Structure 1
Amino acid sequence: MKYLTDQMLIEVYHRAVDLQLDPDFIELLNTEIKRRNIGHTQVVSA
């Protein structure tokens, strides 16, 4: 996760949700988004 930029992380998160990937993987991405303090508006607008 540390090699992903914030923008890449958001894109991966959206792609994982769209593809309905494993919920545990999506939660891992969500946890990283929260850890980096990426605001909700940044995640929604990406």
Structure 2
Amino acid sequence: MKYLTDQLLIEVYHRAVDLQLDPDFIELLNTEIERRNIRLAQVVSA
């Protein structure tokens, strides 16, 4: 995860949700997003 830029992490997260990938994978992405203090609500509205 540390090799992903914030932008790429967000894109991967949204794509994983859209494709309804494994919930554990989505949770892993979400945990990393929270660890980096990225707020998805701000990203979506930006």
| TM-score calculated relative to the size of structure 2 | 0.89
Higher relative contact order (CA 8 A, sep 6+): 1
Partners of 1:33 and 1:13 in 2: CA distance: 9
Identity %: 87
| TM-score calculated relative to the size of structure 1 | 0.89
Segments of structure 1 that go 5 or more residues without pairing to the other structure are none
Segments of structure 2 that go 5 or more residues without pairing to the other structure are none
Runs of 4+ in structure 1 displaced over 4 angstroms?
A: none
Query: Cα offset for 1:45?
Result: 3.7
CA-based RMSD of the aligned residues comes to 1.3
The aligned length equals 45
